Structure 1
Amino acid sequence: KYAVCGDYGGWFRQRLWPLSRKNRPKQIIDVFEGKSLLRNCVDRIKGIFDADHIMVITNREYADVVRTHLPELPTENILGEPIGRDTAGAIGLAATVLSQKEPNSVMAVFSADQIIEPDKPLQEAVQKAFNFLESHPKALFTFGIKATFAHTGLGYLKRGEKAEVDEDGIYPVEAFKEKPNKSTARKYIRSGDYCWNSGMFVWRVDTILEQLDRFLPHNAIHFSRIGQAWGSEKWLEVLEDQFTRLEKISIDYGVMERAVGVYMCELDCHWVDVGSYQALSDTIGVVDQDGNVTTGNTCCEWIDSGDNIVITDCKDHLIAAIHVDDMIIVHTDDATLICHRDETDHLKHLLERMQTEGLERFL
């Protein structure tokens, strides 16, 4: 059994600039009780997997940084993607490598940009998936998160009838639903048949490779060539050539929405996908009586200010605000962001402008 960890949506997240940079991805920033998201992910699953059975998928330019960050993992277990090819590319690469090492192994896929508390419900659910695969070796297993409100930033899973399988708490997945609008999300919550899509999976390596071959045959050809080169002197050359030829597509779109034999169990725990400052502050922030949220080493002084999010990674730095409301203030040693809480979508355009104006060193 192997675990595969990564942020399959991209290690540099524009919505978390300037905290996250191209040379300092969010997964290795110490944001959670002195630990990074990646360290937190690996520690969470160490109760299930030995260190030599934990792999990390990252952008190639971060591979050495990750090796230093996680010294207990074997060097060869840090796989660097030449270019981002979404979750189907990352997961296919991991499965291809594992097929060369242990073709009959089971792989569990985790996201490095999630916070899950406590660890025990996830560990128990993963073990439940392992047990289920022993009697259902062709199954694709995923985990739903108990939906507590009408979230429009997440995908949803629709549960089928529990009676179709006899294992406790395991349901067939009837449908994958992409991010809904507010009205649709409310309908999902009222029905009681939906949960959030966690983006975590468990399956046999040979099974997921068969599914990739069936639904993404173009990609499967390139994975096969990559696998044939594993362990040879031409490995990196072949990886570079073949991986860049992959279709960029998510595992949900490419496989899970079309496959049969997809099952799930639901996790009832504190779970956050850290893709924005709002999500980050909801998880690790301290809220004062005026709704101001601070994190990390932040030291603030307020006068008539409320509902702000303030983050700094600099010690001994005071942020003071007077008559400031509904703002995000993020201070680092070389860049500061000041933005209305409802306008973070414009960060992408800001960074594009910085790129064209010769400010790449701050990206």
Structure 2
Amino acid sequence: MDYAVIMAGGSGTRLWPLSRKDRPKQIIDIFGGETLLRKAFERLLPVFEPKKILVQTNDAHTKKVKKILPEVPKKNIIGEPYMRNTAGAVGLAASFIADRDSDASMTVVTADHIIEPQDKFTQTLSEAVQFVNDNPENLITFGITPTYPSTQYGYIRLGKKTPYDGSEVYKVESFQEKPDAAKAEDYLESGNYLWNSGMFVWKAQAILSSLYHYLPDCKKPLKKIQKKIGSKRQDEVIEERFKEVPKISIDYAVMEKSPSVYSIKLDCDWLDMGSYNALTDLINQDSDNNALAGNTPELIDCSNNIIINQDDNHTIAGIGVENMVVAHTEDVTFICPREKCGDIKEMIEQVRKNKGEKLL
């Protein structure tokens, strides 16, 4: 059987205050349409029926996920009692899938991506699943063809192309961290690098074996959890044991170490909704390149701003404002130069220190 997992457990701090702990970006409607989670689910439907789609989320958000995705069986919504990064999330989801079918493939996507067009994504996903079913020892990561020299994404260095039914599948030579501007330009010009999308396909057993080998401290807790899946003690054991899984990304834990990693090229428009600047590709812009959402502001001689107002009873007004982010909710107004958005975590820590957790 072929299964898919939507990772929907992040806290979305880079879009604070719009995104909060109790309502992260993937489950709130920022743009006046569907949530990012719903979009991710619908993107998978041409390949997977709802009962073969699992959602991994924070324990506190399982009811909200079920409301957004009523088609997904309740048993397919996996609540994490602790955030253990993507290695833990993958290991937990793989344990559930392997319990149902020891030979199952497992597609992993995240709930905070925008991918278009649908038909190209469907075709590439189908090819990746078939590749893994034909090569069960291999791990596939989706690589995005870069369209500009981004310093915000990690990169995949491609090795030799592997002939496979016309698909562009490559041996992965290495993973590269987010580069500086000069390196990003070199990566783009070389044509040998793809953006690292954080989406994968593999056999559930293959990724579990890799985790046990490269991250041995996860083996005991995951094995304990596997034994109780479907039992009355399932949630209790996850609560007890999941915190023992090391907190590390799947890239660091496995993908950068395994000799069996391949990349399939995804030639789609792809956007990781991880920052305010990313919103400019989704939000309507006025004639002065102001990206505006929510209660419309009153502006004079303002340009290149991102202004989001979630309070219908509050009006934002500006004169001569340029290259700023203004995000207003009922209890927080966040103002920041666009080039400083990368420092938002420092502001969150300051708010936590001075105002407590209530605003986070």
Shorter chain as denominator, the TM-score bin is over 0.9
SS class of match (1:286): coil
Partner of 2:15: 16
Partner of 1:355: 352
Q: Deviations over 1:6-26 (max 9, x none)?
A: 14xx52222211100111111
- 1:133: how far off? 2.1
Q: Deviations over 1:112-164 (max 9, x none)?
A: 011001111111111111221232111111111010111111111111122x4
d(CA) in 2 for partners of 1:13 and 1:155? 18
Partner of 1:2: 3
In the alignment, structure 1 residue 288 sits paired with structure 2 residue 286 = yes
d(CA) in 2 for partners of 1:215 and 1:251? 10
- 1:166: how far off? 4.3
TM-aligned CA distance change 1:345 to 1:131, over 3 Å: closer
Partner of 2:341: 344
In the alignment, structure 1 residue 68 sits paired with structure 2 residue 67 = yes
Q: Residues 204-223 of structure 1 correspond to what in structure 2 (within 5 A)? A: 204-223=203-222
Q: Is the 1:155–1:197 contact (alpha carbons within 8 Å) kept by the matching residues of 2?
A: yes
d(CA) in 2 for partners of 1:133 and 1:359? 47
Query: What are the ranges of 5 or more consecutive residues in structure 2 without an aligned counterpart?
Result: none
- 1:355: how far off? 2.1
d(CA) in 1 for partners of 2:212 and 2:351? 41
d(CA) in 2 for partners of 1:68 and 1:166? 40
SS class of match (1:31): coil
- 1:67: how far off? 1.3
Q: Residues 1-363 of structure 1 correspond to what in structure 2 (within 5 A)? A: 1-7=2-8, 11-32=10-31, 34-162=33-161, 164-168=162-166, 169-280=168-279, 282-295=280-293, 297-315=294-312, 317-363=314-360
TM-score (norm 2): 0.95
SS class of match (1:343): helix
d(CA) in 1 for partners of 2:97 and 2:29? 30
Q: Is the 2:31–2:283 contact (alpha carbons within 8 Å) kept by the matching residues of 1?
A: no
d(CA) in 2 for partners of 1:129 and 1:328? 39
Q: Deviations over 1:182-227 (max 9, x none)?
A: 1111111111100101111111111111111111111122111110
TM-score (norm 1): 0.94
- 1:317: how far off? 4.8
d(CA) in 2 for partners of 1:54 and 1:81? 17
C-alpha root-mean-square deviation of aligned residues, in Å?
Answer: 1.6
Larger mean CA deviation between 215-224 and 189-198 belongs to 215-224
Q: Deviations over 1:239-296 (max 9, x none)?
A: 112110111111111101111222222111110000111112x22122223221113x
Matched pairs, number = 358
d(CA) in 2 for partners of 1:275 and 1:253? 20
d(CA) in 1 for partners of 2:74 and 2:234? 15
Larger mean CA deviation between 75-84 and 337-346 belongs to 337-346
SS class of match (2:30): strand
d(CA) in 2 for partners of 1:319 and 1:21? 22
d(CA) in 2 for partners of 1:83 and 1:70? 22
Query: What are the ranges of 5 or more consecutive residues in structure 1 without an aligned counterpart?
Result: none
d(CA) in 1 for partners of 2:164 and 2:101? 30
Q: Is the 1:299–1:316 contact (alpha carbons within 8 Å) kept by the matching residues of 2?
A: no
Q: Is the 1:114–1:273 contact (alpha carbons within 8 Å) kept by the matching residues of 2?
A: yes
Amino acid at match of 2:318: A
